[in-house]
Amino acid sequence: MIRFATLLMLLTVSPIRAAEPPGWVEPMKKVHAKFTGSAGTLAFFGDSISVSAAFWAPLEYAPRNLTGDLGTNFKTVRDYLKDDCWKKWRGGDYGNESGKTIAWASENVDKWLKKLNPETVVLMFGTNDLGPVTAKEYDAKTRFTVEKCLKNGTVVIMTTIPPRSGQLEKAKRFAAIQKKIAADFNLPVIDYQAEILKRRPDDWDGSLAKFKKFAKDEYQVPTLIAGDGVHPSFPKKFQDYTEASLNNNGYMLRTVLTMNAYADAIRLVLKPR
């Protein structure tokens, strides 16, 4: 039997080993080593779910008294991010526009990288690709876009597309493609789709009959996808950083997930201690 004094000594001199960093850290450090632009520049390459002012921009005015991990991550982002990247980098010249597909991204990514030279890109195309685009084309053009960013020295954070009413299975297939690409290129991933389905497995879809009374303003539906069945929701009642909001406001959920992922990238790759 080990005596108490011996046990105490073992605990003192044999600290628990720290968790290993995510597998994307070292590959992204190599990418970032090629970067020649300004630190703290963050671009959102995507469609209407990225160009919307309901996404990310409200975080600029988040309460300074956020606590726990959210508070830590918010401070990390607030202290590092360039001011223009809260809400000014929006529109087609900045890589995000309503109704656009991955084909648009692959055609314009060189132009965006030349204009912005972003240190980090959050990439999410696919919702508008679900109808006309094959999985093969989506895969190829997403890979092309990612590779262009990485060659520029830009760290890419992949975000899976949200579920879409009436096209859930194809949305799942496209999310699987996104995750496979992320794995192949060693990218950090925000699994937005999985988080929505985990939080609201049975009623994520705001176009369901149970939400009919919110038809006049489809974004006020108290679930994660708006009444159109396509875009994230943004109900006024749930626009803070509580769990209730993260279960009922699709844009707030995406914002918080993005903040957490970007904070990790800052600490582990962009500005490591």
Whether 116 is in a domain gets the answer: yes
User: Is residue 202 one of the residues assigned to a domain?
Assistant: no
Question: For position 196, what pLDDT does the model report?
Answer: 98
In a domain, 6, yes or no: no
What φ, ψ does residue 190 adopt, rounded to 5°? -105, 110
Q: Is residue 264 part of a domain?
A: yes
Element (H, E) at 114: helix 102-116
Longest dimension (CA), the chain: 72
CA nearest to 244, candidates 223, 273, 225, 227 = 223
For the whole model, what pTM was predicted? 0.91
Residue 213 lies in a domain: no
Q: Distance between CA 248 and CA 235 in Å, rounded?
A: 8
Q: State which residues form the domain around 82.
A: 37-197+251-270
Q: Is residue 245 included in any domain, yes or no? A: no
Q: Decide if 56 is inside a domain.
A: yes
Tens-digit pLDDT profile for residues 18-41: 467 899 999 999 999 999 999 999
Other C-beta atoms closer than 10 Å to the C-beta of 125 total: 29
The answer on pLDDT for 16 being more than 60 is no
Quick one: pLDDT band at residue 8, thresholds 50, 70, 90?
A: very low
pLDDT in tens, 73-112: 999 999 999 999 999 999 999 999 999 999 999 999 999 9
Question: What is the rounded (10 degree) CA torsion for 206, 209, 214, 219?
Answer: 10
Task: Give me the chain's average pLDDT, please.
Answer: 92
**Residues pairing with 205 in the sheet:** 225
CATH number at residue 60: 3.40.50.1110
Q: What is the mean pLDDT of residues 207-213?
A: 95
Domains held by the chain: number? 1
CB 77 within 8 A of CB 262: yes
Least confident of 57-71, 126-140, 154-168, 214-228: 57-71
Is 238 inside any structural domain? no
Residue 66's pLDDT is 85
Q: In the numeric block, which tokens belong to residue 111?
A: 């132009």
